[in-house]
Amino acid sequence: MAGIQRMLIAAAAAALLVNQAAAQTGKISDDVVKIGVLTDMSGQFSHESGEGAVTAVKMAVEDFGGKVLGKPIEVVVADHQNKPDIASALARKWFDVEKVDMIANLINSSIALGVSQLAKEKDRIAIVNGSGSSRLTNDACTPNSIHYAYDTYALAKGTGAALLKAGEKSWYFLTADYAFGHALEADTSAIVKSLGGEVVGSVRYPPETFDQSSFLLKAQASKAQVVALAGSGTVLVNAVKSAQEFGIRKGGQELAGLLVWITDIKSMGLDLAQGLVLTNAFYWDRDDETRAWSKRFYARMKRMPHMGDAGDYSSTMHYLKAIAAAGTDDAKAVMRKMRELPVNDFFAKNGKIREDGRMVHDMYVYEVKKPSESKGEWDYYKLREVIPGDQAFRPLKDSACPLVKKG
């Protein structure tokens, strides 16, 4: 562990040296690099983003040295309240009035899609970690946005394929009725059908609906082998709890959480969550590097980080390194450097940002441990499969992104 900590300190020192070396020649607009964390600070997705996202971004800024090209780095924060109109108004004010250079996190896919288009219009940068809709790098891609930690295609590929390999062929979807849920159902349905499975039905629920009883009864009556939960947040946790009460798993149906955060497992407890199969980009206990960074995050947040937190840190560091390498905070020059430079840190090895804005890296299929297998708090996952990055995300040949050159 001491060796890993020395490596992390050395890496931070190296970043600081690059920063200082470029300080005399760099060009920074408004004499400050301003990062805005636009997230859910108080609603049902706040445990997936919120204060954790803010903490991760601030840790990256501190580790980079607080300055880039000799100019200060400032972090501003706003709560979008899961309302796209509020999010767009905040982002527009940040870009036009407060001269924010990059907006981070962007939990809630409807919001991420809107702000990404606004970043393109204003020639600034949006880096998405909280949201999952694969449309962000497909038909809705932009030259100014990056989708970093995960997406619905990778979640579908991991969890969908794992359950189909186990013989679970018939699926029923319980889907959150907004951009993320729609994309997750569409991507998973495509994987299910491509591997010889069938979708026997689906029902959509308003994301603000916390009682899933009527929807779960329909899923139970379908007799599908898999009841797939295409949603997230507090609603997902409540759905798993209700499914337990209705005896869905005892009745022989498998419950698939298509997006499950480690904070969800904490809320459910292992008695309830054991056996869930999930796909993730990051687990705090994966190796020495993840454990070292997660220990630092835990000291501030009193919980272990998830892939959104780790992605917010990693992408902010990558953004700042790109500014230093480009010698400017000009959006086009920084985006070019972000695509050129590989990502090699505790979050990803040999990560690469493609022309569609997708950061390609390995994904991991985990199974939630039984209580008897867990060695302590936050010891929740056992690894089932590693999906190499070039297989985890949508192939460029299948992309509808107009930035992708074909032929």
Confidence at residue 21, expressed as pLDDT on a 0 to 100 scale:
42
Q: 158-280+363-393: same fold as 2-150+286-361?
A: yes
CATH hierarchy code of domain 2-150+286-361: 3.40.50.2300
Min mean pLDDT across 69-73, 176-180, 233-237 is at 233-237
Q: Is the pLDDT of residue 18 over 60?
A: no
Confidence at residue 343, expressed as pLDDT on a 0 to 100 scale:
98
**What is the residue-averaged pLDDT of the chain?**
92
Confidence at residue 10, expressed as pLDDT on a 0 to 100 scale:
53
How far apart are alpha carbons 307 and 320 in whole angstroms?
20
Confidence at residue 31, expressed as pLDDT on a 0 to 100 scale:
97
Q: Is the pLDDT of residue 299 over 60?
A: yes
Min mean pLDDT across 21-25, 181-185, 256-260, 318-322 is at 21-25
Cβ distance 140 to 298 under 8 Å?
no
Q: Is the pLDDT of residue 25 over 50?
A: no
Task: Specify burial of residue 377 (Cβ count, 10 A radius: 0-12, 13-18, 19+).
Answer: exposed
Which tokens belong to 284?
A: 């705090």
The CB-based long-range contact list for 120-128 (8 Å cut-off, 24+ gap) reads 120/144, 120/145, 122/92, 122/95, 122/96, 123/331, 123/332, 124/95, 124/100, 124/331, 125/101, 125/319, 125/331, 125/334, 125/335, 126/102, 127/102, 127/103, 127/315, 127/316, 127/319
The per-residue pLDDT for range 141-189, each reduced to its tens digit, is 999 999 999 999 999 999 999 999 999 999 999 998 988 999 999 999 9
How far apart are alpha carbons 328 and 89 in whole angstroms?
27
State CA 219 to chain mean position distance. Answer: 27
Question: By percentage, how much of the chain surpasses pLDDT 70?
Answer: 93
Confidence at residue 22, expressed as pLDDT on a 0 to 100 scale:
40
CA dist list (Å): 130 to 40, 163, 261 = 10, 25, 11
Confidence at residue 377, expressed as pLDDT on a 0 to 100 scale:
95
What architecture does CATH give domain 158-280+363-393? 3-Layer(aba) Sandwich (3.40)
How far apart are alpha carbons 367 and 326 in whole angstroms?
42
How far apart are alpha carbons 333 and 306 in whole angstroms?
30
Domain segments of the chain: what residues? 2-150+286-361, 158-280+363-393
Cβ distance 159 to 365 under 8 Å?
yes
Q: Is the pLDDT of residue 350 over 80?
A: yes
Q: Is the pLDDT of residue 19 over 90?
A: no
Confidence at residue 307, expressed as pLDDT on a 0 to 100 scale:
97
